[in-house]
Amino acid sequence: MGDNYNAEAGFVPRTGFFRINPDLGYNIFPDNGAFTRHEITGEIEYFWDKERNTDRLWGVNYIGSMFNTGRLSGSLQRVYTYLFEPFDPTGTDQMPLAEGEGYTYHLLQASYRSDARKLLSYVLRGSIGEYFDGERYNVGTEFNYRFQPFVSLGLNLNYNRIILPDPFATANLFLFGSRMDITLTKRIFFTNFVQYNSQFENININARFQYRFAPVSDLFIVYTDNYNTIDFAPEGTLNPVNRALILKLTYWLNL
């Protein structure tokens, strides 16, 4: 990625670097049992510029695919990150780590996804390990339930505990989200999404109406609302940060 590269057709976070990402995998196909395949891979990812190695990752990954569409996965990673600018790993505007330093840390992750064909499906995931010069613990889950054939409900919970040595911050971060999809007809759909993020003390509400009046041609009406949970209005209600009503029309020209 050259120094003068201009990504007009997409987003590139930085320029003037090189990247290499080889991986090697081995598949095992059992003759019987609950699994259809065991996949073991090793990967290496390096980023560097003309002066230094900026990022690297060494990882060993496992994925077990089941007959019932379930999946069990895990990974062990060794990560190196070089900071070009001051950075607060907690994202809470506390004392940042200094720029010009490199950090090496290790991370163990695991997850399980249940049978997606059933009305109730779920995902369990967690990780434990080092994080820059501290530690990070993560647990998360997703639940989905379908009221066939019209309604799908989803719930997402995520918790991160980041522990950094003094004088840096320690934080407990929560993310909660719920989603509802309603299929009224083959042409009319409604989606509602609510999310709370403790890192930014923000509640977001997003509601979308979709009308497909022709193939690949849709009318969208979207309402979004953001609330700040730090400061409450005098009446005890949430203070709105911003809200918007958006109209979008797409039409497929088959020339």
- The full set of domain ranges for the chain reads 1-7+16-138+159-166
Of 3-17, 92-106, 217-231, the least confident: 3-17
With cut-offs at 50, 70 and 90, classify the pLDDT of residue 191. very high
Angle at CA of residue 187, ends 185 and 193, nearest 5°: 80
| 12-34 pLDDT tens trace | 778 889 999 999 999 999 999 99
CA 193 to the chain's CA centroid: 16
AA letter at 25: G
Q: Dihedrals φ, ψ of 28, to 5°?
A: -120, 125
| 134-185 pLDDT tens trace | 999 999 999 999 998 999 999 999 999 999 998 898 999 999 999 999 999 9
Non-local CB neighbours of 41 within 8 Å, separated by 6+ positions: 23, 24, 25, 26, 60, 61, 62, 63
Q: Cα–Cα distances in Å, from 198 out to 93, 169, 172?
A: 13, 15, 8
Question: Is residue 167 reached through a cis peptide bond, with omega within 30 degrees of 0 on the bond before it?
Answer: yes
Residue whose structure tokens are 């041609």: 217
